[in-house]
Structure 1
Amino acid sequence: MKKRYIPDLVKQMADCEANYLRLMRLMPDLEQCDEREFEVHWHNQHSTVRLKVEERFTYTTTVLVSQSLEHSWLEAPSLIVRMYHDARAAEVICLKSRRQFKGVYSYPNNQMHQRDEKAQLNQYLGEWLSHCLTHGHEAETVYSYS
């Protein structure tokens, strides 16, 4: 008998909290800044990562996180990330296509989503932001107001 998938809410919340901190390190002036670009060089690869504020409210900010690769036949996913300032958490809510993700999917399903698709995307976002913090270069100097 196949074991039922149970989401690890503690890990998912930890990933969201870490992603919030990473985004705030990349955009310390989030309240005034609408867009920031980073060039990431790794071995022979060159890409540009763009963080663009799409919506700004009192307790939430929605950011489009996208990447363009210099020489690639494969398009990197663009993630819509909702930042919850009161909870200090940031989660992937959907892809650029604007289809909202469920917390858990039955498997198999018609859309071919993994059972833990949303958790995987939040982990992917964390790896992507960490890579930007480690290997990213910005044309302008960013000052932190902490």
Structure 2
Amino acid sequence: MHKSRKYVPDLVEQSSQCERNYLKLMKLMPLFYDQDEYRYELHSDNGQLGGLKLRVTERFKYTATVEVTQLMDFGEWLPAPTMLVRVYHDARMAEVVAFQNKRRFKGTYDYPNDDMHHKDEKAQLNSFLGQWLNYCMQHGCHIGQVVNFS
């Protein structure tokens, strides 16, 4: 019988990912403290892919919560991705704290598990957020005022 190795999270990489996510969010939301919502149309070579909404749902002295939602829904069989991101201004980090209304992800999971989470679910969610924000910066068009990413 093959015994699998226990997953050990790479905390340096996960911290780095959260720092990169923070910087991307601040670029996509340049008036973070004065404007609650930003909407972007997302495009590809084949046309429009829908949109992305970034909405501040809570603001405190050192933290905030941003809801990130895809604006194109494919029906009940494939609901639009939505996540809550906790923004830590003092640490300059942003991490996913909820995805599709599921909250509080552990750093590691045994596999298999009842919730069908990957061993590194939390790291994958933060990576997905980073990819989503990258795509928005590269192929998104802000609806409203002009946002310059350079």
With the length of structure 1 as denominator, give the TM-score of the two structures: 0.91
Q: Match for residue 62 of structure 2?
A: 59
Q: Deviations over 1:14-67 (max 9, x none)?
A: 100000000000001100111110001113342110001111000001000000
What is the aligned length?
143
1:141 CA drift (Å) = 2.0
- 8 Å contact 2:83–2:101 — kept in the other structure? no
What letter matches 2:37 in structure 1? E
Q: Match for residue 99 of structure 1?
A: 103
Where do residues 1-146 of structure 1 align in structure 2 (5 Å cutoff)?
1-44=3-46, 45-69=48-72, 72-73=74-75, 74-142=78-146
Gap runs ≥5 in structure 1: none
Worse overlay, 23-32 or 43-52: 43-52
- 8 Å contact 2:67–2:85 — kept in the other structure? yes
1:118 CA drift (Å) = 0.6
1:127 match: secondary structure: helix
Separation (CA, whole Å) in 2 of partners of 1:28 and 1:14 = 21
Separation (CA, whole Å) in 2 of partners of 1:40 and 1:110 = 35
Separation (CA, whole Å) in 1 of partners of 2:62 and 2:102 = 21
What letter matches 1:16 in structure 2? C
Gap runs ≥5 in structure 2: none
Q: Percent identity?
A: 50
